Amino acid sequence: MTTYLVLTLIGKDKPGLVEQLAETIAIHSGNWLESSMSQLAGKFAGILRVSVPDEQADNLTAALGNLSSGLKLVIEKAEPESASENQQTVTLNLVGNDRPGIIREISHVLAKLGVNVEDLETDCVPAPMTGDVLFKAQAQLKVPSETELATLQTALEKLADDLIVEIQLG
């Protein structure tokens, strides 16, 4: 049998952190399945999912907890990925002048419609002509079958007008 672990980590960024994690996982017969990792403000932050044989799960958890890399780790057991029935995957792209509250407003509309945010990436970049700060977001959404895409589109278009941002669903 297989145990699935989700690890979240943060620490001072330095070369070799990913290699140290990968080595520890491999030594315990673990398999690195998926991850998202970034350097943010001098910190290394990430989340990853691994599978490991049941008999190695406790040893891997202990070994990860003993890494001398200065990483703060949270390790949780997880369920294997299951097929999402009765849901549609939709991509949301957003661009607009940066201001506080954009994600709060978008997530509020999504939650009211029962839409789950599965992946979210955001960035602030200078606008090409003016140099003003643009806020960009891309999200993978899971829309329940009972929520019509036209309803979601209409709600997001109204919000886009209020926020003065451009939103595209794909």
Domains and CATH numbers, the chain: 2-78 (3.30.70.260), 87-169 (3.30.70.260)
pLDDT of the chain, 170 residues: tens digit per residue: 999 999 999 999 999 899 999 999 999 999 999 999 999 999 999 999 999 999 999 999 999 988 877 889 999 999 877 666 678 999 999 999 999 999 999 999 999 999 999 999 999 999 888 889 999 999 999 999 999 999 999 999 999 988 889 999 98
pLDDT at 83: 63
pLDDT at 84: 62
* C-alpha to C-alpha distances, 136 to 107, 125, 145, 168, nearest whole angstrom: 15, 8, 27, 12
pLDDT at 125: 93
Sequence-separated (6 or more) residues with CB below 8 Å from residue 168? 92, 93, 94
pLDDT at 67: 85
* C-alpha to C-alpha distances, 6 to 19, 23, 47, 145, 157, nearest whole angstrom: 18, 17, 7, 28, 35
Residue 130's φ and ψ, nearest 5 degrees, are -100, -25
* Tens-digit pLDDT profile for residues 131-152: 899 999 999 999 999 999 999 9
Sequence-separated (6 or more) residues with CB below 8 Å from residue 83? none
pLDDT at 78: 93
